Amino acid sequence: MIEVIPTLLDRIQERARQARPTDIRIGAYWTYVAVELAGRTPAGLSSTLSGGSHEGHRRGQMPIPDAGRLLDYDVAALASLAADDDLLPASVGFATINALLDIDESLCTEVNAADVIAERGRGAKVAVIGHFPFISKLKEIADELWVLELQPSEGDLPAAAAADVIPQADVVALTGTSLLNRTFDGLMRLCRQDAFVVVLGATTPLSPVLFEAGADAISGTRVIDPARAALAVSQGATFRQIPGKRLLTMFRP
């Protein structure tokens, strides 16, 4: 299996050299990066993940040492933050990668990942990494449903149960944040060869690189109104509150 982050960074290098950063917002739930590229201002999103704490802040820890000066970075350096071991810089890196992707919309369908999973999961055994709003619908149609969470709600399984559950699943739904927190590769290795694997969420790069990593469907987000999306992110918007976006899905050819 390929290494996803290095491969993504390699694929966007040419576009990164031609771009310059124009806006970076690190909101409570989402991170936004916009660049200037070939007369356009494409933008990308990523979940905001942070391993920091108020105690660490009081002790002088700085999750992003150059906060306030990130627009001085070249775009390739911003994108390379995706490989950072600290989650907050990695969030900036993935938003930058998503801004740089040259998405071929002729290969995409404007369909929600929930509908894809529901179609494939009807009467099947389904494992979902993360408690999404569509879980209640899946419970009604799946033969068996497992939901794995780092912080389980009632009815969820702890993330540590992945090794027992995922190999049993006909359909596996992985959140794009698994790329951010470095659990993606391990989760993919647990999937059966014949399982249908969906990677979903706005962090998910809409790139065929994920097909090379074993995914069958890639459900991500394209920002179509950068100014409105940036304002919402900077005011603490949840995903549903972010305007100016399209939900797109690519299927393995």
Q: Answer whether residue 239 is part of any domain.
A: no
Let me know whether 48 and 68 are in one domain.
yes
Residue 237 domain flag: no
pLDDT the model gives residue 150: 84
Rounded mean pLDDT, 60-75: 89
**The total number of structural domains that make up the chain:** 2
Which of 49, 80, 104 terminates a domain? The answer is 104
DSSP secondary structure letter of residue 193: T
CATH of the domain at 140: 3.40.50.11590
In the prediction, which pLDDT does 60 show? 60
| Residue 241 included in any domain | no
pLDDT of 59 = 57
Q: Would you state the pLDDT for residue 57? A: 52
- The residue from 104, 127, 160 where one domain ends is 104
Kindly state whether residues 178 and 92 are assigned to the same domain: no
Sheet architecture: strand order including 43-47: 20-26, 30-36, 43-47
- Cα(18)–Cα(182) distance, rounded to whole angstroms? 29
Q: What is the pLDDT of residue 58?
A: 53
Compute the mean pLDDT over every residue in the chain, rounded to the nearest whole number.
Answer: 94
Q: Do 79 and 138 have their domain in common?
A: no
Residue 131, class by beta-carbon neighbours within 10 Å (0-12 exposed, 13-18 middle, 19+ buried)?
A: middle
Q: Which of 250, 238, 230, 244 is nearest to 24 (CA)?
A: 230
* Domain range for 66: 4-104
pLDDT at 163 over 80: yes
pLDDT more than 70, % of the chain: 96
User: Under a CB-based contact definition with an 8 Å cutoff, are residues 170 and 150 in contact?
Assistant: no
> Could you tell me whether strands 125-129 and 144-149 are parallel, antiparallel, or unpaired per DSSP bridges?
parallel
In a domain, 235, yes or no: no
In a domain, 228, yes or no: no
pLDDT tens for 125-142 read: 999 998 898 999 999 999
Average confidence (pLDDT) over 60-86: 92
Render pLDDT for 15-29 as a digit per residue (tens, 0 to 9): 999 999 999 999 999
Q: In sequence order, what DSSP letters do the residues of 104-132 get, joined into one string?
A: -GGGEE---HHHHHHHHHTTSEEEEES--
Phi, then psi, of 68 in degrees rounded to 5: 95, -15
DSSP 54-83: HHHHHTT--SSTTTT-GGGS-HHHHHHGGG
